[in-house]
Amino acid sequence: MRLLAVALVLLGSLAATTPVVAAPAAETGGRHEVSYDRYSLMVDGERVMLWSGEFHYFRLPSPELWRDILEKIRAAGFTGVSLYFHWGYHSPSPGVYDFTGVRDVDRLLRMADELGLYVVARPGPYINAETSGGGFPAWLKTVEGRARSSDPGYRAAYTEWLGHLNPIIARHQVSRGGSVIAYNVENEYAVNVDAAYMEDLQRQARDAGIDVPIVHNNCCGGNLANWSSGKGAVQIPGVDDYPQSFDCHNPDAWGPWGDGVTRRLRDDAPVYAAEYQAGAIDLNNAGYDKCRELTGPSYMKVFYKNNAIASGATMFGYYMTFGGTSWGWLPQPNDVYTSYDYGSAITESRQLTAKYDEFKRQGYFMTTVAPLTKTDAATAPVPADPAVLARARANPDTGTQFVLVRQADLAGAADLSTTLDWTTPDGRYQVPVRVNGRDAKILVAGYDLGGQRLAWSSSEVLTHVTVSGRDVAVLYGRDGEQGSTVLRYDSAPTVQVLDGEVRHSYEDGDLRLDYRHTGLARVLVTGGGRQPLLLMLGTDETAARFWRQDTSAGPVLVRGASLVRSAEVRGDRLALRADTDRASDVEVFAPVRHLTVGGRPVPVRRTPSGSLLGSLPGPEQVRLPALTNWRHRAEPPGFDESGWTTADKTTTASPIKPKTLPVLYADEYGHHNGNVWYRGRFTATGAEKTVSVNAITGRRGIYLVWLNGRYLGSAPGGTQADSEPVNPDPGRGDFAVPEGLLSAGQQATLTVLVENMGHNDDWTADDVRHKQPRGLFGVAVEGSTAPISWQIRGSLPTDGERGPMNTGGLYGERAGWHLPGDGGGWQNTPGELTPGVSWYRTTFRLDLPRGHDVSLGLRFDDTTDRDYRVLVFVNGWNMGQYLNGVGPQREFVLPAGVLRDHNTLTFAVISTEAAQGDPGPVSLVTLGNHRTGAGADREPRR
């Protein structure tokens, strides 16, 4: 009986830890085995804390800057990135796929490999992500069969996509020497679920050689399908959690959507916080700074730490870590506008924020303290004050304990101080703790910190490294708060306080340090039967000035610089690639005697701390040109050119049928992005009274109407974002026919310009939402029964290197007016705003300091009373749409790569009215300026 039980337990644990991949040993060159159990993922049997940040390559059309973002993510202590892949971004039309240039995801995965960042690959086919169609190509709207199901029409379509993408992902798996450690099928597939479809996605992945664990991000808890068991189940089901919701107008909110504790969904797999809120979409036009406040450091402290200890999760994906730009026609218009900054830790202009610092504090801890990768819930020490809540986990092998302290009332605002009666692995202690409102701490006890034994500390651990046989550790606490740390020694060690005020005492093997957190205190402990320890005791701020980087000689610490991208030990020299946004000290804790930064030697001296200290120059000033010499050109409203397509379809795959025939949905005629021109001809009777138009554009879209060349007016387009009830009369506009404009028997020409702001997503997996049309939905001329014969002219399928989502169907776009190169026809006379489309352009030269990373934006400063909108083209790249007087966005980030030394800036301006003057004033602005080591020699990690 007993034997059997033991055997079963063994079997159970074997099954759970059996590698998912059994790479033959002979072939392993750079290959590694990925496995997992209920605690964590493992690579070659070693536990991994997958602390990853979400990044969307498609929101940064500049591959060289992908590396910048990935380096910033890694430098914050993340061990991984979570990457959506966007089907529609790669596929202009059925059967056509492009993985080159800004769509070169092989290059993206290569970068992650080189940087040693694990990747959770998330290829959809559906991704949501507030992008047009939720990542579906718009041509899918014309495919029969319900999307996100096993319907054959849809299956054929996504089989194409996965057929292209899966092999790319497969060759970058950890099991093949790359860094893809998990594969995410579908996205929050929780309603209208179809298990056969989930199975097929997994089968296709396996058939393509995907052998890493398959995961899913389950939505919203509750009783929705979560794919943890039964048909279609995945190996590691995760949970998406957005406890702060998305109301950025209310940045003081505190968990309106719950306490964000990630549920365990399977006993044999790690707890996976697949998408954990790290910012917010700006649903209600509050501006992203407010979203950054809503999800700021206090929220991160309380919710992230609470979750880590309450759930024991070891797999995390923070959504978003860098949001980026929904350039071109990438936005899903019902939720977002051009900027997808997301209030994230790294801004849209690639700047590091206070949230980045908090990520770093938590990330360094999570990824330094290895016992965190295997913990069970444990009995927590009892705080003397019940208003303080303690929660604990412990590592069953090392005994190390992790105690979360926060206020029992999650929203509590008092400043509480109390004592924990804490039975640690090293004895029972009365540990003083303080938890202010909206703060939380994870305290550690019984931890082998390098060569030291940390009995407990009321300060938090940032990180520690061992340099030349000496431990260097950084602990921190809130500025002004008391802290105590107890370390164990065989005999009384020698304690030297090098900096700050730290009291120390030794009794029964315990070295106790007491101090107030302020600045950066330094204590050197030698003797006592252990290797030396340099202990630095900082505040949130001073702790965040440290950078930890791995080198071939082990991890090193750097203090100072605004970013340390990488570090390499070469003989007795440390080579850093680092940035500065001001002149600053640089201090390194590394087994070296010399320092170079960005390839240049930096004079250093040895400090009493045993570190090397030098100084780094700040950046030079940036001078930007004024934008002058604008030229102008009117777009012909297309009343009489030829080459239009006849629009005469009478059926559509969309479940939403048009109000009048023919079907005028732009997608039916292959025009999937941007503006579309329509021309309808009919024989007039002279009795026409009103032209009634229905057009669907998505939120904030408009359409303009002309009759026989006379401008009749404009109206907001419909959105139809909701599935139920379907609005029968979307985007309705009634335009009076001017007296005498039409005469009996003569041909009348109705011209309509309809904006397509992007496609609905398919969150509800029911087609009613995502197959909602764009373009004209119905047209009726009151007082006439004459048939209207329609023609349409819209976007070309793709704009070469800029891809399928860059360019719409304006006349000027089709003619290439948005592209660099003059082409003739531009006038020096300033343009007035006239109803319809007019084009403006200028050129400018940038002379930015070399060796600097300057982030630039374009700023609109007009008053908001005139009704116009601007498509911003930089060297042909559509960097977004400025809506004068609508929404909060006035600045558009222009990434290097799109920007060059010589630039052509072109505006397509759509105005609904005649108004004085052009869209002025517009200027270039500096959004960040760093002297950078980005371009210095890099050395691949693996």
Q: Peptide bond preceding 320: is omega within 30 degrees of 0, i.e. cis?
A: yes
Hey, is 933 helix, strand or coil? coil
CB of 258 to ligand IPT, least distance (A): 12
Give the nearer residue to ligand IPT in terms of CB position, either 222 or 230. Answer: 222
Give the nearer residue to ligand IPT in terms of CB position, either 35 or 321. Answer: 321
* Beta strand pairing call for 416-424 and 427-435: antiparallel
Kindly indicate which of the ranges 122-130, 149-157, 594-602, 614-622 contains the residues binding ligand IPT, using the contact rule CB under 6 A.
Answer: 122-130
Give the nearer residue to ligand IPT in terms of CB position, either 82 or 912. Answer: 82
Whole-number Å distance between alpha carbons of 805 and 671: 11
CB of 265 to ligand IPT, least distance (A): 16
CB of 188 to ligand IPT, least distance (A): 5
CA-closest candidate to residue 430, choices 493, 478, 382: 382
Interface with ligand IPT, residue 188, by CB under 6 A:
yes
CB of 339 to ligand IPT, least distance (A): 13
Within 209-238, which residues bind ligand IPT (CB under 6 A)? 219-220
Within 666-705, which residues bind ligand IPT (CB under 6 A)? none
Cα within 13 Å of Cα(68), Cβ side: 28
Q: Peptide bond preceding 725: is omega within 30 degrees of 0, i.e. cis?
A: yes
CB of 30 to ligand IPT, least distance (A): 32
State the number of binding residues for ligand IPT (CB under 6 A).
12
Site string for ligand IPT, 279-298 (x = CB under 6 A): --x-----------------
Interface with ligand IPT, residue 87, by CB under 6 A:
no
CB of 54 to ligand IPT, least distance (A): 9
CB of 355 to ligand IPT, least distance (A): 16
Cα within 13 Å of Cα(27), Cβ side: 8
Element spanning 547, H or E: strand 546-549
CB of 667 to ligand IPT, least distance (A): 22
Token reading at 775: 């373009």
Please identify which residue in 79, 179, 187, 675 interacts with ligand IPT, judged by CB under 6 A: 187
Please identify which residue in 71, 160, 186, 240 interacts with ligand IPT, judged by CB under 6 A: 240
What are the CA-CA distances from residue 274 to residues 54, 180, 319, 547, 602 (Å)?
A: 10, 15, 9, 26, 42
For this structure, is 199 an active site residue? no
Residue with tokens 């007009």: 862
What sign has the CA pseudo-torsion 774, 775, 781, 782?
positive
8 Å CB contact between 325 and 338: yes
CA-closest candidate to residue 271, choices 310, 303, 302, 244: 310
Within 739-778, which residues bind ligand IPT (CB under 6 A)? none
Token reading at 34: 């990925």
Residue with tokens 């005139």: 866
Please identify which residue in 183, 242, 322, 790 interacts with ligand IPT, judged by CB under 6 A: 242
CB of 128 to ligand IPT, least distance (A): 3
Whole-number Å distance between alpha carbons of 266 and 102: 38
CB of 935 to ligand IPT, least distance (A): 33
Single-letter code of the amino acid located at 613: L
Q: Peptide bond preceding 125: is omega within 30 degrees of 0, i.e. cis?
A: yes
Give the nearer residue to ligand IPT in terms of CB position, either 432 or 888. Answer: 888
Give the nearer residue to ligand IPT in terms of CB position, either 243 or 493. Answer: 243
Concatenate the DSSP letters of all residues of 387-443 into one string: TEEEEEEE-TTT--EEEEEEESSTT--S-EEEEEEEEETTEEEEEEEEE-TT-EEEE
Token reading at 519: 């600045």
Interface with ligand IPT, residue 339, by CB under 6 A:
no
Give the nearer residue to ligand IPT in terms of CB position, either 127 or 883. Answer: 127
Q: Which residues contact 770 (CB under 8 A, 6 or more apart)?
A: 133, 134, 136, 140, 141, 147, 759, 760, 761, 762
Kindly indicate which of the ranges 21-29, 126-134, 402-410, 796-804 contains the residues binding ligand IPT, using the contact rule CB under 6 A.
Answer: 126-134
CB of 241 to ligand IPT, least distance (A): 9
Kindly indicate which of the ranges 125-133, 555-563, 833-841, 849-857 contains the residues binding ligand IPT, using the contact rule CB under 6 A.
Answer: 125-133
Catalytic residue among 130, 188, 481, 668: 188
For this structure, is 275 an active site residue? yes
Within 834-853, which residues bind ligand IPT (CB under 6 A)? none
Give the nearer residue to ligand IPT in terms of CB position, either 220 or 780. Answer: 220
CB of 233 to ligand IPT, least distance (A): 19
Give the nearer residue to ligand IPT in terms of CB position, either 239 or 858. Answer: 239
Interface with ligand IPT, residue 128, by CB under 6 A:
yes
CB of 130 to ligand IPT, least distance (A): 5
Hey, is 267 helix, strand or coil? coil
Give the nearer residue to ligand IPT in terms of CB position, either 127 or 666. Answer: 127
Interface with ligand IPT, residue 332, by CB under 6 A:
no
Give the nearer residue to ligand IPT in terms of CB position, either 318 or 365. Answer: 318
Give the nearer residue to ligand IPT in terms of CB position, either 138 or 443. Answer: 138
Kindly indicate which of the ranges 58-66, 123-131, 407-415, 783-791 contains the residues binding ligand IPT, using the contact rule CB under 6 A.
Answer: 123-131
Whole-number Å distance between alpha carbons of 921 and 858: 11
Within 862-921, which residues bind ligand IPT (CB under 6 A)? none
Kindly indicate which of the ranges 124-132, 293-301, 307-315, 431-439 contains the residues binding ligand IPT, using the contact rule CB under 6 A.
Answer: 124-132
Q: Peptide bond preceding 940: is omega within 30 degrees of 0, i.e. cis?
A: no
Kindly indicate which of the ranges 128-136, 309-317, 402-410, 698-706 contains the residues binding ligand IPT, using the contact rule CB under 6 A.
Answer: 128-136
What are the CA-CA distances from residue 283 to residues 136, 439, 781 (Å)?
A: 21, 27, 37
Residue with tokens 């004895």: 427
Single-letter code of the amino acid located at 770: H
* 3-state SS string for 101-161: HHHCHHHHHHHHHHHCCEEEEECCCCCCCCEHHHHCCHHHHHCCCCCCCCCHHHHHHHHHH
Kindly indicate which of the ranges 11-19, 127-135, 427-435, 644-652 contains the residues binding ligand IPT, using the contact rule CB under 6 A.
Answer: 127-135
Give the nearer residue to ligand IPT in terms of CB position, either 129 or 871. Answer: 129
Give the nearer residue to ligand IPT in terms of CB position, either 187 or 326. Answer: 187
What are the CA-CA distances from residue 88 to residues 69, 184, 214, 329 (Å)?
A: 23, 18, 23, 11
The radius of gyration computed from the CA coordinates of the chain, to the nearest angstrom, equals: 30
Q: Which residues contact 845 (CB under 8 A, 6 or more apart)?
A: 625, 901, 902, 903
Catalytic residue among 54, 275, 348, 460: 275
Q: Which residues pair with 506 in a beta bridge?
A: 511
Site string for ligand IPT, 247-286 (x = CB under 6 A): ----------------------------x-----x-----
Instruction: Name the residue with the smallest CB distance to ligand IPT.
Output: 128
The alpha-helical segments, DSSP class H, found in 127-262 are 152-170, 195-207
Within 129-158, which residues bind ligand IPT (CB under 6 A)? 129-130
Q: Which residues contact 801 (CB under 8 A, 6 or more apart)?
A: 100, 101, 102
Catalytic residues: 188, 275
Residues interacting with ligand IPT, by CB under 6 A? 127-130, 187-188, 219-220, 240, 242, 275, 281
